[in-house]
Each structure stands twice: as C-alpha cells, then as structure tokens.
C-alpha cells in the first residue's frame, strides 16, 4: 500500500458524489498532499483519472479489493487547478 497524508471514505456513495467529495477535500488540504480515497463504486478509478487530468492533480495508483476500490491521488498546486469544474 502506498503512503498517504489524508484519507477520504466514500464507500457506499454513488457517482458523482465521490468526485465531489474529493474536490471538497482538495480545497482543505495542502498542495502536494497524497489523498487515499476508498470507494465502493467501480467508476471511481476512471472518474478520478479524468478529474485529475482536467484539474492538474496527479492520479498515482489504485487497488481493487472487491467490493472496495482504493485510489491514491496527489493534490496539484492551486495555479494548476481549474476552478468551477462541473460534473
């Protein structure tokens, strides 16, 4: 398992709520922090890849242990983020 700075549990939540929770968490943690996201929605992997690409954050890795999906993402700098992104 990868080292991380913060953890977000979105288990039981359906799309787009996990991505919205990640966006909210990124607003409250320092740039460069690694966030571990736990989800039950298998779409979290592709959704977070897309979200990171569009917002300047970094998709690091993922683990699949059904019914749990664990994704590690790194918060990019504020200057690289796109504000007002909607899903």
Please indicate whether residue 15 is annotated as part of the active site.
yes
Using DSSP's 3-state secondary structure scheme, residue 53 falls into helix
Mode of pairing for the β-strands spanning 6-9 and 34-39: parallel
Rounded distance between C-alpha atoms, residue 35 and residue 3, angstroms: 9
Per the residue annotation, which of 13, 15, 17, 29 is the catalytic one?
Answer: 15
**For residue 25, which of 35, 14, 17 has the smallest C-alpha distance?**
35
**Cis bond before residue 37 (omega within 30° of 0):** no
Catalytic site positions: 15
């Amino acid at each position: 398992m990868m080292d991380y700075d913060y953890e977000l549990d979105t288990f039981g939540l359906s799309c787009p709520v996990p991505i919205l929770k990640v966006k909210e968490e990124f607003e409250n943690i320092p740039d460069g922090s690694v966030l571990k996201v736990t989800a039950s929605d298998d779409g979290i992997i592709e959704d977070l890849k897309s979200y990171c690409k569009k917002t300047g954050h970094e998709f690091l890795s993922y683990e699949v242990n059904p019914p749990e999906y664990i994704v590690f993402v790194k918060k990019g700098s504020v200057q690289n983020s796109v504000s007002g992104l909607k899903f």
